[in-house]
Amino acid sequence: MCEALRDRVLLHREGFANMNNVNPFKPTVVFVDDDENLLRGVARALGQRYNVVSFSDPVEALSWLRDNHRKVDVIVSDLAMPGFSGMRLLREMVGIAPNIPRVLLSGHLDNSAMNKAINTAFVSCILSKPASIELIRKSIEQALSSRAIDLAGTLITPGLVMRAIKNNGYSIVFQPRIETKTGLACGLEVLIRFPNLQKRFLLEEIILACEGHPAINLLTTAVMNEVRRQAKDIRSRFDFSPTVSINCSPYSIRNNCFLEEILHFRSDMLLRDIRIEVEITEHSDIVKDPAFLANAKMLKNRGVAIYIDDFGSGSNSVELLGTGVFAGVKIDREFIATANGDCLKSSFAAWVVKASHDLGLRVVAEGVEDANVAQRMQALGVEEMQGFFFARPAALDKIPTGAFALC
């Protein structure tokens, strides 16, 4: 490789130990992995966007980092390297550069190892191998964004959310789901709230900060544990076996260890005569990942119904309908609230209902805020409705159940 191309594509340990050679207008990313093919592929694909410094030897990486860590923006490292444990590498990197975010790569990572990694270092994201170059790039961008946010101290980070959960700085609220034919409350959606964090940040910002980060698993686990705690009271509010719906990230479902947590949660709730459903959003490209789809199918086969939340708000909607792993869709409130006055959005809502029913899927209309919308959704044939017209999210003892008037 000629020197000019090498300078553009790869800052390698032998030729570019002097950080004065790097482009100061590009972030510097250090890769530590014993997979030379991965290092070469990353250098070729990402060299124009970042100053890429790669090491297959963790000892050399640490030596280089001691001299140059002040000019490094993100570290991407394997968690399992021959002769040098990933946790040891993490600890030593933290000692040298505690504030540099890390993206971890691992072929096998159970919850214990994941939690240890999170507690050991400033971990922005953990990726399961094999990870695509595009997924690595997105993770680096997230890490860069998290670092800028953390240093500025003005926006939310996964670390803030994790601390809030650890310190019990959260609660859950419920919103009833209404059966369209009868007007009866048939179940509840569970939603998380962060009273103190929400004084500074929007709830959407808090959740978004956790996407693609192990913090989202911790968040969902917190919700499941709180539902377990309130399960007896939930069941007592219904004359039949109710359905409780929780939100879950595609990132979490793709994780085999977390998949077991969902299945254990389902088993616990069945013992309490409560059925569990999972809602996932379609915004992340993870929903097209074969590993996600395989795990989603496993959940379906084990009796866990999965709904596509906010259907129509992302770019993956139509493609997901035919995958065969989903039980239904929740039409995004944008297409519900304006369905009476916007012909295009009204037509889309009608198409979603028909297409879903043709595929044997159920449809939930969320964001129903008045009687006119409720009656229109009833006419379209949606199975369930949810929204402020029936009840705002609230603590369990404040939630009305029973029959609701649809007009």
Q: What is the mean pLDDT of residues 139-143?
A: 83
| Residue of 83 and 222 predicted with greater confidence | 222
Helix 290-301 and helix 256-271: axis angle, to 10°? 20
Q: What is the value of pTM for the model shown?
A: 0.66
Q: Return the closest-CA partner of residue 10 out of 64, 36, 46.
A: 46
Give the three-state DSSP class for 312.
coil
- With cut-offs at 50, 70 and 90, classify the pLDDT of residue 394: very high
Summarize pLDDT for 352-375 with one digit per residue, the tens.
999 999 999 999 999 998 898 899
User: Any idea which fold 3-155 has?
Assistant: Rossmann fold (3.40.50)
- With cut-offs at 50, 70 and 90, classify the pLDDT of residue 2: very low
Q: How far is CA 170 from the centre of its chain?
A: 18
| Residue of 14 and 238 predicted with greater confidence | 238
Examine the pLDDT at 23 and tell me if it is beyond 70.
no
| Residue of 94 and 392 predicted with greater confidence | 392
Q: Quick one: pLDDT at residue 3?
A: 39
DSSP letter for each residue of 89-100? HHHHHHHH-TTS
Lowest mean pLDDT among 15-19, 189-193, 196-200: 15-19
Q: Quick one: pLDDT at residue 120?
A: 54
H-only helix segments in 78-171? 86-96, 111-120, 133-152, 158-166
Examine the pLDDT at 152 and tell me if it is beyond 50.
no
Distances (CA, A) of 151 to 73, 76, 99, 121: 12, 20, 9, 16
Q: What is the mean pLDDT of residues 161-172?
A: 93
Q: Quick one: pLDDT at residue 162?
A: 87
Q: Quick one: pLDDT at residue 81?
A: 73
- With cut-offs at 50, 70 and 90, classify the pLDDT of residue 127: confident
Check: CB of residue 384 under 8 Å from CB of residue 179. yes
Give the integer Cα–Cα distance in Å for 253 and 291.
Answer: 9
Examine the pLDDT at 6 and tell me if it is beyond 60.
no
CB count in 10 Å sphere of residue 382 = 27
| Residue of 8 and 209 predicted with greater confidence | 209
Q: What is the mean pLDDT of the chain?
A: 83
- Phi, psi (rounded to 5 degrees) for 376: -65, -45
Q: Return the closest-CA partner of residue 63 out of 103, 98, 13.
A: 13
Summarize pLDDT for 103-119 with one digit per residue, the tens.
888 765 555 555 655 55
Provide the Cα torsion 312, 316, 317, 321; round to 10°. -170
- With cut-offs at 50, 70 and 90, classify the pLDDT of residue 101: confident
Summarize pLDDT for 36-56 with one digit per residue, the tens.
888 989 888 898 888 899 998
Check: CB of residue 229 under 8 Å from CB of residue 190. no
Q: What is the mean pLDDT of residues 313-327?
A: 81
Lowest mean pLDDT among 135-139, 194-198, 275-279, 341-345: 341-345
Q: Quick one: pLDDT at residue 11?
A: 43
- With cut-offs at 50, 70 and 90, classify the pLDDT of residue 221: very high
| Residue of 359 and 320 predicted with greater confidence | 359
Start-to-end CA distance of the chain, whole Å, equals 73
Q: Quick one: pLDDT at residue 15?
A: 35
Q: Quick one: pLDDT at residue 283?
A: 74
Structure token digits, residue 195: 């009273």
Q: What is the mean pLDDT of residues 290-305?
A: 94
Give the integer Cα–Cα distance in Å for 215 and 198.
Answer: 17
The radius of gyration of the chain's CA atoms, rounded to the nearest angstrom, is 24
Examine the pLDDT at 398 and tell me if it is beyond 80.
yes
Residues forming a β-bridge with 192: 172
Q: How far is CA 179 from the centre of its chain?
A: 29
Distances (CA, A) of 127 to 143, 255, 256: 13, 10, 13
Examine the pLDDT at 315 and tell me if it is beyond 70.
no
Q: Quick one: pLDDT at residue 241?
A: 96
Share of residues in the chain with pLDDT > 90 (%): 41
Give the integer Cα–Cα distance in Å for 337 and 345.
Answer: 9
Helix 215-236 and helix 203-210: axis angle, to 10°? 120
Residue listed under structure tokens 């695509």: 132
Q: Quick one: pLDDT at residue 183?
A: 92
Lowest mean pLDDT among 158-167, 341-350, 370-379: 341-350
User: Any idea which fold 163-398 has?
Assistant: TIM Barrel (3.20.20)
Give the integer Cα–Cα distance in Å for 201 and 194.
Answer: 9
Q: Quick one: pLDDT at residue 296?
A: 95
CB count in 10 Å sphere of residue 358 = 9
| Structural domain spans, the chain | 3-155, 163-398
Share of residues in the chain with pLDDT > 70 (%): 83
